[in-house]
Structure 1
Amino acid sequence: MGKLDNLLKAGGANIAESMGAGLNRPAAGVAPTSTVPSRWQGVAKSKNAVEVPIDKIVPDPDQPREEFEPEALERLAESLKTRGQLQPIRVRWDEAQDRYVVVCGERRWRAASIAGLATLQCVVSEGPIDEGELRALQLIENCLREDLKPIEQAKAFRALMDRNGWSGNQTAKALGVAQPTVVRALALLDLSEPVQERVEAGTLAPGTAYEIGKIRDPEVQHELADRVVSEGLSRAETVEAVRVAARRAPSTVGKGRGAGKTKLPISRTLRAAGCKITVENRKGVDDALMIAALRDALDQIEALADQAA
C-alpha cells in the first residue's frame, strides 16, 4: 500500500471517528435480549467520547488554519447555545502541557468559548499520531469546511498538495470533489494581490475572477477587475472583455487561452431536456463564453425562483 493509500485510510478513519463513528455495536445476526428496552437495542456509547472542560483544551499552535472570521465564530457560538453541540471535536492528550490539544475542530472550540460553554464533547485520539498524518488531517478538514472563503480554500488545497506531493487530480480524489473545482480554485492564487483582495471581500465572484486570471499581466487583471465591479459585468461579459484584451495584447494571455485564430460562430445551440438553448454573440461564441452564459442564465433563473418561493 502506497503513501497515498495509507494516508487516506488513516485520514478517513480519524475524520469518521471525529464525527461519531467507532461505536461498539452488537455483532451482526445476534438478536437483542428481551431484557433490553427497545429504545436501547443496537445503541452503544462511543468508545472515546468524553465531556472535557473548555479550559482543559488548548489549540494546536501548528494548526494550518491561521484566520478565524469573528462574525462566523459569533454565528456558530449562537448556534451552540441554542442547538447544542451537534458534532464532537477531536483532541489528543499532551502530557507536557497537562492539557488536551485540538486535532480537528478548533473553530468549534473557539465558538464554544465565546458561547460560554463549560464543557465540550470530544473524541480522544489515543496513542501517538504521526506529525505528517496530523497535519494532513487538519488540512483535509480545512479544505472541506463549508465556510471557507475562495482564496482561503485555494490556499488550503495548495498546502495539502505541497505537503503530500499530490497533483490536482489526486487532491480532488482525496477530498471527493470534482477536479475542475480544485483547478479553478488554484487559478485564483495566480491573480494579482488587488484582485485576490476583491475576491476575498466578496465584491468579485470567484468564477468571474477565474476568467480574469486568463490574463497574465497583473495590471490588465487589475483594470479588468475594476471594470467588472464598477460596471457590474456578468461572467459572460467578462469573458468577452478578456477576449478583447487578448486581441489588443496577445502576449498578456496564457498559452492556449488567447483569442482563437479561426473565426468563431456567432451562435451555438444545445438541445437538453427536450428544449433548444441558443447563445448568440456577434463577436463569436467559444466554449468559455458558452459556459459563462449558461451559468449566468442559471443564476438568474434560481434568483427568480427564490423570489417566487
Structure 2
Amino acid sequence: MAPELIRIVPLAEIELVPLNRKSLDEEALAGLTQSMQEVGLLYPPRLTRKGQKYIPSDGYHRILAAMKLGWTEISAIIEEKPLAEGELIQKGLIANSHRIANTPVEKAEAIGRLMEVTGWNASTVAEKLGMSNATVSRLLSILELPEPIRERVHRGDISLSAACELARVEDGAEQADLASKVAAGKLTRDALSGSLKSRKNGHASKPSAAPSPSRVTAKLAGGRAVTVAADSVDLDAFIEVLEEVLGKARKARTQGIELGTFAKMLRDQAN
C-alpha cells in the first residue's frame, strides 16, 4: 500500500477532476460550506499526485467548499504514488457511497468506466466496491437506456428500479412512451413490471392499476426495526427506499442536521 501523509496543500496546486459526477448537488455543497465555515475541516480530503499537481480521489466537495470560503490551503491525506485511472474511480465510488451519494446514473457510468479501464467483470467490480452482484447488474442496465431516458433517471424523475424495467423494453418508441408515463407518475414500477411480464408470457395487456398500499417491517437484533410503506413493496422497492433515505441522511449529516430536524424535512418534502 502506498504511504499516506497529511500535509497542508495550497489549493492552487489541486486540479479538480470530478471523476464520478455529472453535476453538483448545490444544496449539499452550500450546507457543507456553512459547516466548514462554522467548525472547520473535520475530515481531510484524499489527494494523489498528477505531475506537479494533485487530484482528489476523495473530498471533491470539501475542496470546492474551501475554495468558496476563500481558503488558500487545506489539510489533506497525500498518496505519493500516482494512482491509475481505475484505482481513482474505485476509490471515488467507495468514498462517495459514504458521503454525498452519487446518482444512479453517475454510479453506473463510473462502474462502466471502471470495467473498461481495468478489464474487470461485473462480479469483480461488485466485490471490489462492496456491492451485491444484483446492485451492480441493476446499475449497469441504466447504460442500456438512451440518453434522454438516462437523463430523467439522473434528475430523479425515474427511479433505479423503474429504469431497470425500462431497459428490458426493446422497442424504442414504446420505451420512450413508458418512460414518460413513469416520470409523470402515471405508471408505477410494479405496474410496469407486471405489464412486461404479461407481454413476455404472451398475454399483452394494458399496465395494471397501482396495487393497494402495503407495508413491510424488517426486525433486527437489539429491538431495532425498519418499516417501509409504499404502493407495493417488493425487495427492489424496499432497497430503493432504504437507499434514498440513506443518501439523504448522509447528506444531512454533512450539514450537521439533527435527526429530529431531518425527519421533519422528509415529512415536509413528502407533502
Q: Fold match, TM over 0.5?
A: yes
Partner of 1:54: 11
1:233-270 CA distance string (max 9 Å, x none): 222112123235xx3xxxxxxxxxx3379xxxxxxxxx
Deviations 1:183-224 (A, max 9, x none): 000001111222111111111111111111111222211111
Code of the residue aligned with 1:259 in structure 2: it is N
- Note closer, same or farther for the CA distance 1:110–1:231 as it changes in structure 2 (3 Å cut): closer
Aligned to 1:233: 187
C-alpha distance in structure 2 between counterparts of 1:105 and 1:194, whole Å: 30
Change (3 A) 1:120 1:242: same
Q: What is aligned with 2:128?
A: 174
- Between the aligned partners of 1:301 and 1:185, the Cα distance in structure 2 is 16
The equivalences for 1:73-222 within 5 A come to 73-92=29-48, 97=52, 99-126=53-80, 128-129=81-82, 133-144=83-94, 145-146=96-97, 147-222=101-176
- Change over 3 Å in CA distance of 1:232–1:117 after alignment to 2: farther
Change beyond 3 A, Cα 1:49–1:173: same
Query: TM (normalized to structure 1)?
Result: 0.59
Measured after TM superposition, the shift of residue 87 of structure 1 is 1.8
Q: Please give the secondary structure, in 1, of the residue aligned with 2:158.
A: coil
Tell me which structure has the larger Cα radius of gyration: 1
Aligned partner of 2:145: which letter?
L
CA distance 1:294–1:117, change in 2 (3 Å): same
- Larger relative contact order, structure 1 or 2 (CA cutoff 8 Å, min sep 6): 2
> Aligned letter for 2:22?
E
**Separation in structure 2 between the aligned mates of residue 142 and residue 218 of structure 1, nearest angstrom:** 33
Preserved CA contact (<8 Å) 1:53 1:118: yes
Gaps of 5+ in 1: 1-9, 18-47, 248-257, 262-271, 275-291
Separation (CA, whole Å) in 2 of partners of 1:66 and 1:201: 13
Q: How many residues align?
A: 216
Q: Find the aligned partners of 2:202 and 2:124 in 1 and give their Cα distance.
A: 31
In structure 1, distance between residues paired with 2:63 and 2:177: 42
Checking the alignment, whether the CA contact within 8 Å between 1:235 and 1:296 is kept in structure 2 is no
What's the % identity of the aligned pairs?
27
Return 141-150 or 158-167, whichever deviates more.
141-150
Give SS of 2:77's match: strand
Q: How does 1:249-288 map to 2 (within 5 A)?
A: 258-259=200-201
Deviation of 1:169 after TM superposition, in Å, equals: 0.4
- Structure 2 regions of 5+ residues with no counterpart? 204-216, 220-231, 246-265
Aligned residue for 1:190, secondary structure, equals: coil
Contact 1:192 1:221 in 2 (8 A): no
1:49 is paired with a residue whose SS is: strand
Q: 1:68 to 1:51 in 2, by over 3 A?
A: farther
Residues 144-190 of structure 1: CA deviation (Å, up to 9, x unaligned) = 21320111110000111111111100000011111111000000111
Normalised TM-score (structure 2): 0.67
Instruction: Report the Cα distance in structure 1 between the residues aligned to 2:240 and 2:103, rounded to whole angstroms.
Output: 23
Task: Determine the C-alpha separation between the residues in 2 that align with 1:157 and 1:103.
Answer: 15
Q: Which residue of 1 aligns with 2:229?
A: none
Pairwise CA RMSD: 3.4
d(CA) in 1 for partners of 2:150, 2:24: 17
* Residues 99-155 of structure 1: CA deviation (Å, up to 9, x unaligned): 5444543332122111323431112233x43xxx43122101332213201111100
